[in-house]
């Protein structure tokens, strides 16, 4: 479990059009505006939000939950958490964005086969792990296909060196650009299947 501060913006203040005129009865919209909108501009308020990993669910289903909800439904858990951690300073989160672009060194979060997600570890890309390089290359090629980002030059060099050593196909950036362009030009077909 981790937490962060979020800023919640208040709605814009009530305008002159939304205020009832002297001697007139307020319409339903004006009454709603008086109830829901503040009389003046207010600064955003800070609230705590917790990142929760739910029991019996994978890490894909982690969600951010407000402190109010935690205090309502899980008060004991929240109290135990505040005993261990400082309630004023949010913990630093390692999101894996500490790649060293100059040297071409990257850290990867590795989920090991037959181990749980909480036993995943951060590994440098120069580790001697069987099959590790191949998985790194698959990751970068998959990332390129999904996001359209080009593979970093340091990784391209490693892919080509690995392909030359093991007899695989070399990475050709121009060829990949052509494939991306061709895929973008390809018309999409909207197929509708009706079941009766």
* Three-state SS annotation for the chain: CEEEEEEECCCCCCCHHHCCCCCCCCCHHHHHHHHHCCCCCCCCEEEEEEEECCCCCCHHHCEEEEHHHHHHHCHHHHHHHHHHCCCCCCCCCCCCCCCECCCCECEEEECCCCCCHHHCEEEECCCCCCCHHHHHHHHHHHHHHHHCCCCCHHHHHHHHHHHHHHCCCCCCHHHHHHHHHHHHHCCCCCCCCCCC
Q: Taking the C-alpha atoms of 136, 102, 173 and 147 in order, what is their torsion angle to the nearest 10 degrees?
A: 60
Give tens-digit pLDDT for 152-169: 888 888 888 888 888 777
- Pairwise CA distance, residues 187 & 93, whole Å: 42
How is the chain split into domains, by residue range? Answer: 2-84, 110-185
pLDDT higher for 112 or 181?
112
* pLDDT > 90 in the chain, percent: 15
For residue 64, the model assigns a pLDDT of 92
Give tens-digit pLDDT for 65-97: 999 999 999 999 999 999 998 888 888 765 555
For residue 195, the model assigns a pLDDT of 47
């Amino acid at each position: 479990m981790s937490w962060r501060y979020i800023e919640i913006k208040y709605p814009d203040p009530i305008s002159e059009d939304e205020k009832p005129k002297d001697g007139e009865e307020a319409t339903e919209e004006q009454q709603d505006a008086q109830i829901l909108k503040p009389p003046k501009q207010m600064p955003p308020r800070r609230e705590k939000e917790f990142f929760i990993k739910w029991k019996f669910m994978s890490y894909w289903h982690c969600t951010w939950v407000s402190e109010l909800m935690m205090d309502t439904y899980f008060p004991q858990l929240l109290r135990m958490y505040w005993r261990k951690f400082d309630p004023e300073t949010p913990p630093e989160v390692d999101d894996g964005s500490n790649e060293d672009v100059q040297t071409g060194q990257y850290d990867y979060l590795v989920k090991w086969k037959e181990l749980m997600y909480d036993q995943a570890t951060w590994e440098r890309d120069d580790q001697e792990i069987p099959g590790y390089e191949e998985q790194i290359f698959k990751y970068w090629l998959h990332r390129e296909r999904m996001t359209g980002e080009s593979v970093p030059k340091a990784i391209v060099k490693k892919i080509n060196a690995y392909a030359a050593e093991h007899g695989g196909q070399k990475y050709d950036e121009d060829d990949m650009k052509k494939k991306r362009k061709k895929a973008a030009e390809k018309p999409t077909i909207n197929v509708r299947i009706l079941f009766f």
